[in-house]
Amino acid sequence: MQDNKAVVTAFMRALGSGDLDTLQALITEDIQAVCTGTSVVSGTRHHADICAVAGFLGTVTRGGIDFQILSMTAEDERVSCEVQGYSTLVNGTAYNNQYHFLFFIRDRRVFRIREYIDTKLADEALGPLLQIASA
């Protein structure tokens, strides 16, 4: 279980800093990540999408997101992780969201994620930047 917690800790650090090499080493090719809700960031993502998100976070934030793990519980293949994220977006807006991630680990790699966030905050802070990026 401690190994699974170490995988999740490394994943959060790599995602927040945009460390694509480490991120790719920590996820399976068949990964499925679901961000719940109806936000602009909601939906199901796969390997290439997750790598693109890491790159996107690097372009829309000033220095990535500092994910601070508040609590972590591991059982079997699952790791539950409560997180507070701190960042400043390139437009100067603070983006400090709260998260709950449920990770599923197989052979020391993440193969599934369920993500729960403040979707209203994500829409307000990231929505305008997503529109610019897709234009």
The model's pTM is 0.93
Confidence at residue 132, expressed as pLDDT on a 0 to 100 scale: 59
For 2-134, the fitting CATH number among 1.20.20.10, 3.40.50.2300, 3.40.50.10740, 3.10.450.50 is 3.10.450.50
> How many Cβ atoms are within 10 Å of 131's Cβ, its own excluded?
10
Question: What's the CA gap between 135 and 80, in Å, rounded?
Answer: 36
Nearest to 13 by CA among 67, 53, 58, 56: 67
What percent of the chain has a predicted confidence (pLDDT) above 90?
81
- Any idea where the domains of the chain sit in the sequence? 2-134
What tens digit of pLDDT does each residue of 36-86 get? 999 988 999 999 999 988 888 888 899 999 999 999 999 999 999 999 999
